[in-house]
Amino acid sequence: MAAEELATIPWTGRLDALERERVLGDMRVVLVEPGELVCRVGRPVTYWFGVIDGLLKMSNDTAGPAGLGMPITFTGVPPGGWFGEGTVLKREPYRYNIQALRKSVVAGITAETFHWLLDRSIGFNRFVMMQLNERLGQFIAAREIDRLTDPDARVARSLAALFNPVLYPGVGELLRITQQELGYLVGLSRQRVNEALHALQGSAVIRVEYGGVRVLDLEALRRYGRGA
DNA sequence: TCATTAAATTGTT
DNA sequence: AACAATTTAATGA
């Protein structure tokens, strides 16, 4: 991994020279193909991962035999998103599957380096704390989304979650996601997603683009389906 | 760089 | 689910 690439990762800006040097030597970057699992339920934690490019999904669908409980997609992880700190902190085995929805570039630092940073960098601690707090808000929002019946609103809120600038600073204005992929995440058919996207576009909240969605009004997207 | 072709994605039935 | 139309990516001159 090169120093320039490192600079594109948000939390590295909070580190001092020594810390950055260690991270640079420790960081591994891999290319994952669609469908490939970045980490599997039950596997021991070795890395703290982040998405450089592409799109991942976090789910509990047990690929193995005897599916215990129905498969649920918890969330998508777009560029700029870092995850797994909860399990790294507790040194527990992974509790979810992380699977690539499309060809993606994933970076990771070892659990050892993660703990080393946690022990010495206040900036890094602040980042992790903010990350945990922000994600808690996302999961609460996700519960709300699950109870929405209007597909347009579900798509709107799910999109809003993916456009979260704190958790996913790599996304920016344009989220690279196909309508098929969005369908997988939200749990709707591609046709219905297509319809919903155009309804949102009609409200001037987003713009539908080839292979992606551009946000025009993030606040309106978050509020969609609710009054005021 | 441009033209041609294949692949991916979208829009519609 | 199937199809046609459109956009992007890949290829080779």
Q: Is there contact between A212 and strand B, defined as CB under 7 Å from any strand atom?
A: yes
The model's pTM is 0.88
**Residue A40 forms part of a structural domain:** yes
> Over the Cα atoms of chain A, what is R_g?
18
Q: Give the mean model confidence (pLDDT) for residues A92-111.
A: 91
Q: Is there contact between A103 and strand C, defined as CB under 7 Å from any strand atom?
A: no
Q: Is there contact between A202 and strand B, defined as CB under 7 Å from any strand atom?
A: no
In strand B, the nucleotides that come within 7 Å of a protein beta carbon are 8-13
CA gap A1, A27 in Å, rounded: 7
Do A98 and A154 belong together in one domain?
Answer: no
pLDDT at A74: 81
pLDDT, mean over chain A:
90
CATH code of the domain covering residue A117: 2.60.120.10
The pLDDT tens digits of the residues spanning A125-162 come to: 999 999 999 999 999 999 999 999 999 999 999 999 99
Q: Is there contact between A102 and strand B, defined as CB under 7 Å from any strand atom?
A: yes
Name the residue closest to the C1' of C6 by its CA: A210
Q: Is there contact between A208 and strand C, defined as CB under 7 Å from any strand atom?
A: no
A139, A162, A179: which is the final residue of a domain?
A139
pLDDT at A67: 40
Do A33 and A93 belong together in one domain?
Answer: yes
- pLDDT confidence tier of residue A7, bands split at 50, 70 and 90: confident
Q: Is there contact between A35 and strand B, defined as CB under 7 Å from any strand atom?
A: no
Q: Is there contact between A198 and strand B, defined as CB under 7 Å from any strand atom?
A: yes
Do A8 and A48 belong together in one domain?
Answer: yes
- pLDDT confidence tier of residue A38, bands split at 50, 70 and 90: confident
CA of A212 to C1' of C8 (A): 12
pLDDT at A1: 63
pLDDT at A69: 52
Which nt sits closest to A189, CA to C1'? C1
Do A47 and A126 belong together in one domain?
Answer: yes
Owning domain of residue A211: 149-223
Q: Where are the alpha helices (DSSP H) in chain A?
A: 3-7, 17-26, 85-90, 111-120, 122-147, 151-162, 179-186, 190-202, 218-223
pLDDT at A228: 53
Domain tally for chain A?
A: 2
Which nt sits closest to A190, CA to C1'? B10
